[in-house]
Structure 1
Amino acid sequence: MIITDTHTHLYSEAFDEDRKKMIERAISQNVSRFFIPAIDSTYTDAMLKLEADFPESVFLMTGLHPTHVKDNYREELQHVEDMLAKRSFYAIGEIGIDLYWDKSTLNIQKGAFRHQINLAKQHELPIVIHCREAFDEIFEILEEKSDDDLFGIFHCFTGNLEQAKQAISYNMKLGIGGVATFKNGKIDQFLNQIDLKHVVLETDAPYLAPKPYRGKRNESSYIVKVVEKLAEIYNISEEKIAEITTQNSKDIFGI
């Protein structure tokens, strides 16, 4: 059984004390594929080191996180372009719109999102979307950019059934993680109405730890709790959940 964590910040400072052990713990639980989203240029060196330390298991993205779209966002976007010119990546992410922390940057967040979607199309890469309190704004841009070259993952999907179907209509898989195990997460109530071919697994470690670790630091090994929950929701084996969602990740990332 191979489990794929399609979204995990393994370079985070939260893992500075035990990063190697934490990754080995995940691998021992059959979690052997880690896709690593970018935040901004300050994390690039840490991401490259992570890849060098675990070349068989770590796959990098590049991009500018919406909460880091600040006054210097043009320089940050240039860094993304420079990285794409230097080497290969598996996705542009995480990108999108976040209106939870700062609504004043909406216009430049939209601009950065559009620009990075264009980069993804130029490089024939998937996008990995961050959406917080911004479904309407995200969907507006996806509608504008929608074509056969637009595809990717709607990371940490927390919307309703209608929003899930809309995301899928733009060639997006739904990134399902710890929220599916929360009592008030709600997505567990309709997820079985979504064909499993549209789902990938993620942790978003060190954030959003699943039950029974909720409120603690999340780590990639905890994705097994998400596998257990989806096996219950879809009424199939954990092995089948792992097999289908890993194949879905291969379809998106090309590896």
Structure 2
Amino acid sequence: MIITDTHTHLYSDAFNEDRYDMMQRAFNEGVTRFFIPAIDSTHIDAMLQLEQDYPEYVHLMMGLHPTSVKPETYKDELKGVANWFAKRSFCAVGEIGIDLYWDKSTLNIQQEAFKFQIELAKSYNLPIIIHCRESFDEIFEVLEEVNDDKLFGIFHCFTGTKKQAERAISFNMLLGIGGVVTFKNGKIDQFINEIDLKHIVLETDSPYLAPKPYRGKRNESAYISKVLEKLSALYNKSEDEIAEVTTQNSKAIFKI
């Protein structure tokens, strides 16, 4: 059984003390494909080191996270993102999007950065990986504006309603399902089995959003087994089948 974690921050400082052991635990659970989202320029060296340490398993994205879109630095950061794509290949543009949980005052420049990076993805025929926090309406507004046959990607850490899920899928997006599906108040467990598995990929967003029974603790890629277990129960399909379908979905979207 091959399991794919489509969104995991394995370069995070949270793993500095036990990164090797953490990776071994993931391998032991059958997780052998790891897709690594970018945040901003301060994390690039750590991402490149991770890729060097695990070249057969780790696939890097490049992008500017919406919470790193700051008035004084975002233009230089976006230039840096574009320069990296000119220098080497990445599997996706991400994670990008809009986050209105932490700072609503930067909405305009978050939208600008989001659009810029969507166009960058289109120019390289790459998927976008969307970060959406308290911003579904704003995200959909941008997607409506830029929608065409070159737009595709993943709604990372999907936490919306069934209607929002269907709308995301209409923009040629897969839904990234992680630990939230195991939460008692997560709500997506109430309808996710009505969404065809062909629209689903698995993720952890580690070190964040650990699934039950690890909720509140540091997350890691091995814990994707709990997400798989929950989806197996919700879809009434074997864990092997869930893993196979979601891994095939990830191969199609990332072309890896």
TM-score of the two chains, using structure 1 as the length reference = 1.00
TM-superposed CA distance for 1:234, in Å, is 0.3
Q: Which residue of 1 aligns with 2:50?
A: 50
Partner of 2:10: 10
Deviations 1:6-48 (A, max 9, x none): 0000000100100111011101110000000000001001000
Alignment of 1:1-255 (within 5 A): 1-70=1-70, 71-255=72-256
Secondary structure in 2 matching 1:157: coil
Which consecutive unaligned segments of at least 5 residues does structure 1 have?
none
Letter in 2 for 1:61: M
Q: State the Cα distance separating 1:254 from its structure 2 match.
A: 0.2
Q: Distance in 2 between matches of 1:224 and 1:68?
A: 30
Counterpart amino acid of residue 208 in structure 1: L
Q: For residue 106 of structure 2, give the secondary structure of its aligned residue in structure 1.
A: helix
Instruction: Give the Cα–Cα distance (whole angstroms) in 2 for the partners of residues 148 and 250 of structure 1.
Output: 19
The alignment yields a C-alpha RMSD, in angstroms, of 0.4
1:214-245 deviations in whole A, cap 9, x for unaligned?
Answer: 00000000000000000000000000000000
Q: Match of 2:189, as an amino acid?
A: D
SS in 2 for 1:210: coil
Q: How many residue pairs end up in the alignment?
A: 255
Q: What code does the residue aligned with 1:170 have?
A: F
Matched residue SS, 1:79: helix
What code does the residue aligned with 1:99 have?
A: L
| TM-score between both structures, scaled by the size of structure 2 | 0.99
- Counterparts of 1:187 and 1:14 in 2: how far apart (Å)? 28
Query: 2:41 & 2:124 partners in 1: Cα distance?
Result: 19
